[in-house]
Structure 1
Amino acid sequence: MSGKWAMRNPAVKRIMQELREMEKEDSPDILAEAIEEDIFEWHFVIRGAWDSEFEGGIYHGRILMPADYPFKPPAFVMLTPSGRFETGVKICLSISSHHPESWQPSWSVRSALVALIAFMQTPGSGALGSLDHPEDVRRQMAAESRTRPPSYGNKDRQALIDAMHQRMLGMEDRSRQLCKAEQQQDAGPEAAAAEGGAPQAAPEAAAEAEAASVGGAAAEEQPADEAVPEPAAVPAAAAAAAAVAASPPAAAVQPSSPAQPAAAPTPTVAPVPAAAPPAAAELRQRPAAAATAAAGAQPGSPPAPQAVAAVPLGAPAVVAAGPHQSWEDRGLTYLAVLLVLCIAALLIRKVMLAVSLNNQDLYSFNHVEGVEL
C-alpha cells in the first residue's frame, strides 16, 4: 500500500501517533516498536515488578493490531516463559482481543503494557493462556529471562529482539532506583510519623509542663485578699442585675449598692412570697441562686454557667407574655364570631331572595292562566 493511502487510514494515523509517543517514552520498564515491514505488528519488552516473584525479569512479546484499531483491542502473545502466561498463545485479558466489550478506544499501547505488568501479579484463575506456577518457579524463570532473549522470526526480527533486550539490561539500575524512590515516597509519611513522633512529643510535653508550672507559681504568688478576676466579674454582674429585676425592692437594693463588696452574699433574695405560684417561684429563685453562687465563688474558680443562661430567661418575659397571649385569644375569638355572623347574614339573604323569586313566578303563572281562561 502506498504511503498516501496509509495516511488516510484512521488506524494507521493512530498507530503512527502512538509510535511517536513511544519514542519519547522515558520509562525504564517498557519498550515497544513496530516491525519495519508491518506497522500493525509490534514487538514489546516489559520488566517484572521488583517487589514480586517476577523481580528483574525481562519478558518479550508481540502485539497484533486489528485493521480497525483503536476501535477494537489488540492481541498479546508472550514469547518469554514467565510462569504466568503461556508462550505463543493469544492471552485472555480485559485489555486484549478476547474481551472487545471492555476495551476503550482512548487506551493506548503504553497503557495496555502497564496493565499487563499489573496482570502478571494476579492469579490466572484458569483463563485462556494463563498459568499458575509456584513462586519459586516464577523467580527462577525471571532470573533466566535476563540471561538470554527468546528466539523468534527471521534475522531482522531477532536483531530487533536482541537490541531491545540489551536496552532493558542497560536501564536496570535506573529502574531499581525509581522503584526504591517510589517505595520511600509511599512509606514516607508513615515512616516519618513512626520515627519522628517521639521526638516531637517530647517538646510539646515539656512546653505543657512549663506552662503548668508558671501558672501554679502565679497562683501561689497571688495574695489571699485579691479581688475576683475580671472575666469572672462579668457573669456575676449579669446575675446580680437579673436578681434585682426578679426580687422584691427591699432585697434588690443590696446587690446594686456600690458600697458593698462584689463577693458579699445576698441571702435575702432567695425567699419567695407564699402567694406566688410554683412556676413564678422557680423563675425567681433561678437568678437569685445563680447570683449567690457567683458571689460566693472563690477567686480562682470559673464562673457558673447557669448565671449567664438565666439572664434571658428572667421573670419579665413571663409576666409580659400573660396579657399578650390573652389579648390575642380574645381578638381571635371576636374575629371568629364576626365571621360567623357575616356568613349567617349572607345565608339568610340568599334564602329570602330565593323565596321572593319563587312567589313571583307562581303569581305570574296563575295570572297568565287566568287571562287565557
Structure 2
Amino acid sequence: SFITLRRARSGARRARHRHQMSSGASPGGQAPPDGAEAKYNMKNPAVKRIAQEMREMSRDVDPCYHAEAVEDDIFEWHFAILGPEDTEFEGGIYHGRILLPPEYPFKPPSFMLLTPSGRFETNAKICLSISSHHPEHWQPSWSVRTALLAVRSFMPTAPEGAVGSLDYPADERRELAAASRERPPEFGNSESRRALIAEVHAKMLTRWEAMRAAKREREDVARAEAAAEAEASRLNDAYDLDDTAAWVRTNALRRVALQMPDELLRDAMAVAAALTRRCNAPSRGGGGGGDAE
C-alpha cells in the first residue's frame, strides 16, 4: 500500500543515516547511496557531478518540483513537478523518470513521464530541446534542476507534433490534473523504487496544499483591495474628495473603532487608505489634492 511503501522508504533512510553517523559522514543533504564508493569510481566526472547535484537538490528546495536518485543507481532519478499555475495543469502532480548517460553532463539525459497529463505520453521517452532527442542543444552547464524547470515550462506549450507529445482538450487535462493527486503512479517491480515514488508524491502533495493556501490568501487580499478602491471611487463621485478623506481620517475611524467589529474596522481603514492615495495623487492639471481623476 501507499503507507507501507512510505514506511519502507523511511526505514531505509534511517538505516542509511545510522551508517553515515557511524562512518563519520555528514547526514546533511542526499548523499550518494550506501556502497557507492565500491560500486562507482568517485573520481569519475559523471559520478562526481551527479553526487554534487544530489546534494544541491536536497539543500536548495523548490516547491514546484522534487527529484531524487534511486538508492541502487545514481544514474536513475525519479521526480515530480507541480503543474504550472493558471493553466489546465494547475493542481496536478506529475511524476517522471530521468536516465543520465555515463557521459553526463556532456551528453543529455532522457525523460519519461509516468503520470497521465494529456500533454506527454506516459512510459515513453519525450522529445524536448534539453533531452537525448536533441543532443546538439544540450549544454554541460545544465543540470537535472534545469531539465525539470524546462519540462514544467513546456507543459502549457503547443506540442507541434513532437515525439511523445499529446494534445488533449483543456477539460480533460484538468480532470487528469485532479486525478494525479489521488495516488502516485506504479512503476516497475522494485519495492525501493515504488517507495521512492510514494515518498516524492507525499512531499509534493504537501507543497501543493501550501501553495494553494497561499494563492487563496493572495486572492483574498486582491479582492479586498479592489473593493476598497471601488468604495473610494464611489465616495469620490458622491462627495468632495479632500473633505471626505479628511472626515474619514479625523472622525470615521474613531467612531467605527468603538462600534464596529474588527473585520468592518479593517474594511473602513482600507477605504481610508484608498482615499488618501487618491488625495495624494497628482491631478490631470498637475496640481495636488482636489479631484484625483
Category of TM-score, reference length = shorter chain: 0.5 to 0.7
Q: Return the offset for 1:208.
A: 3.3
Q: Deviations over 1:75-130 (max 9, x none)?
A: 00000100000011110000100011111111111111011111001011110000
3-state SS of paired residue (2:106): coil
What's 1:370 paired with?
none
2:57 is aligned with 1:3: no
What's 2:59 paired with?
24
Q: Return the offset for 1:172.
A: 1.8
Name structure 2 gaps, 5 residues minimum.
1-34, 221-227, 233-272
What's 1:114 paired with?
149
What's 1:208 paired with?
287
Distance across 1 between alignment mates of 2:103 and 2:218:
38
Choose which of 158, 171, 176 in structure 1 pairs with 2:212: 176
Change (3 A) 1:174 1:210: closer
3-state SS of paired residue (1:137): helix
3-state SS of paired residue (1:34): strand
Name structure 1 gaps, 5 residues minimum.
185-191, 212-373
What's 1:45 paired with?
80
What's 1:13 paired with?
48
Distance across 1 between alignment mates of 2:288 and 2:169:
58
* Rg comparison, structure with higher value: 1
What's 1:241 paired with?
none
2:196 is aligned with 1:160: yes
3-state SS of paired residue (2:164): coil
3-state SS of paired residue (1:59): strand
Change (3 A) 1:183 1:127: farther
Given that residues 29 and 175 in structure 1 are in contact (C-alpha distance below 8 angstroms), is that contact kept between their aligned partners in structure 2? Answer: no
Distance across 2 between alignment mates of 1:20 and 1:177:
29
Change (3 A) 1:72 1:198: farther
Choose which of 108, 113, 122 in structure 2 pairs with 1:73: 108
More helix by share: 1
Structure with the bigger RCO (C-alpha within 8 Å, sep 6+) is 2
TM-score, normalization by structure 1: 0.50
2:99 is aligned with 1:97: no
Q: How many residues align?
A: 208
Change (3 A) 1:207 1:70: closer
What's 1:294 paired with?
none
* Displacement over 3 Å in runs of 4+: 177-184, 192-211
The percentage of aligned residue pairs carrying the same residue is 54
What is the root-mean-square deviation of aligned Cα atoms in Å? 3.4
Q: Deviations over 1:259-284 (max 9, x none)?
A: xxxxxxxxxxxxxxxxxxxxxxxxxx
Q: Return the offset for 1:155.
A: 1.3
